[in-house]
Structure 1
Amino acid sequence: MILFLMLAVFALVMALLVVLNPNPIRSALFLVLNLFCIAGLYLLLNAYFLSAVQVIVYTGAIMVLFLFVIMLLNLGTPDKTPNKLKMQAPLAVIGGLIVAGALIWAVTKGTPAIALPAEPMVGGYPLGSPHGIGLTLYDSKKPWLFPFEMTSILLLIAVIGSVVLARRSYGEEANKS
C-alpha cells in the first residue's frame, strides 16, 4: 500500500508538472516520468507484460515521436510566442481547484470500499499476461484488432502531417528572406 501511494503521488506530481511547465521539451520529459509511474502501478497489479509494454511502447516509442514533433516544429522556445489568452490561466486554476475538490469529496465521502473480485481470467490465463492479451485481442467476438491498427495509422498520418506543415512554413520563411 505504501508503494502504491508513493507511485500515485509521484504520478500526480509529474502530471501537474506536465501541464504547468511552459517548456514543451521539459513537459514531455515529465510525461516520461509519469509513464514510468504508471508502469510501476501495473507491476503492483501483477500485470508484468502490460508494464513492459508501457515502458517500451509509450515511454520509448511514443515519447520519441512527441520529442521529434516538438523539435521539428521548433516549439522549444515558448518565450517568442505572445500570450493572447490572458484569462486562460486564472480560469484553468479555478477549474483545477473545482476538479480537485470534487476528487477529494469523492474519495472521502464517496462510495464505500468493496471487495475486489479475483484476478480476471481469459481462457484460463490472467488478463494481464501476454497469452490473455492475445486471446482478448484476436477474439472473433471482440474485434479489438481493427481499432488497434487504426490508432497506428492515425499516428503515422499525424507524423506525416507535422512534417508537411513544418516544411511548408520553413519554405515560406526562406522565400521571405
Structure 2
Amino acid sequence: MSITEILFYFLSALALGAALMMVTSKNPVYSVLWLIVVFFAISGHYILLNAQFLAIVNIIVYAGAIMVLFLFVIMLMNLNADNEPQKNKWLKMAGAVAGGCLLLVFVAALRQSETIAMQAVNTSGPTGLIRRLGMVLFTDYVLPFEIASVLFLSAMVGAVVIGKKGD
C-alpha cells in the first residue's frame, strides 16, 4: 500500500467516525466540534485529489467562519435538556422512516458508483491549481460568476435592511 492509500483510508475513517460522533452527541456544542473535524478530514481528501484551493477554502470558510457562527448561535440559544420538549412516538417513527429512505438512496447510488467510476475521464495537467481555476472562472464562466456576485451583494443589502432598527 502506498502512503496515499493509507492517508485516504485514515481520512475516510476519521470523517466517518467524526460524522457518527456528531450525529450521536447529545451536547450540541460537541456536535459542532465534531463537524469541524469532519471538515478537516474532507479538506485532507481535497489535498489528496490535488485540489489545494478547495481544501484551503473549505478550512477557512466552513471550518473557520461558518462553524464559529454555528457555535455562537448554539451558545446564545442556551439549549438545556430541562426545557426541551419531549418528542412523541410518531415523530420518532417519521424520523426513522426518513433515515431509512435516505439509506436506500445511498445504497442505490453506491451500486452504480462502480459503473460511473469506470466512465471517469482522467485529465492530465495542473488540475488543482488556482491559476487554472481562475482562467476558467473568468473566461468561460464570467457571466454566472458576476450574477452570483450581484446576488450575494443583494443578499447582504437585504440582511442590513432587515437587521436595521426602525426609526
The one of 87, 92, 103 aligned to 2:90: 87
Q: Distance in 1 between matches of 2:82 and 2:90?
A: 18
> Does residue 1:39 correspond to 2:43, yes or no?
yes
Written as runs of structure 1 = structure 2, the 5 A alignment for 1:1-177 is 1-72=5-76, 74-108=77-111, 111-112=114-115, 113-119=117-123, 126-139=126-139, 141-142=141-142, 143-147=144-148, 150-151=151-152, 154=155
Q: Distance in 2 between matches of 1:160 and 1:32?
A: 31
Q: Which runs of 5+ in 1 are unaligned?
A: 165-177
Q: Distance in 2 between matches of 1:70 and 1:110?
A: 37
As a proportion of its length, which structure holds more helix? 2
Q: Distance in 2 between matches of 1:153 and 1:83?
A: 40
State the Cα distance separating 1:29 from its structure 2 match.
0.8
TM-score, structure 1 as length reference: 0.67
Q: Distance in 2 between matches of 1:39 and 1:149?
A: 28
CA contact (8 A) 2:50 2:127 kept: no
Q: Which runs of 5+ in 2 are unaligned?
A: none
State the Cα distance separating 1:156 from its structure 2 match.
8.8
Q: Where does residue 169 of structure 1 map in the other structure?
A: none
Deviations 1:68-96 (A, max 9, x none): 22222x24424422124543333323332
Deviations 1:36-86 (A, max 9, x none): 1110110110111221221122111111111122222x2442442212454
TM-align CA RMSD = 3.4
TM-score, structure 2 as length reference: 0.70
How many equivalent residue pairs?
A: 158
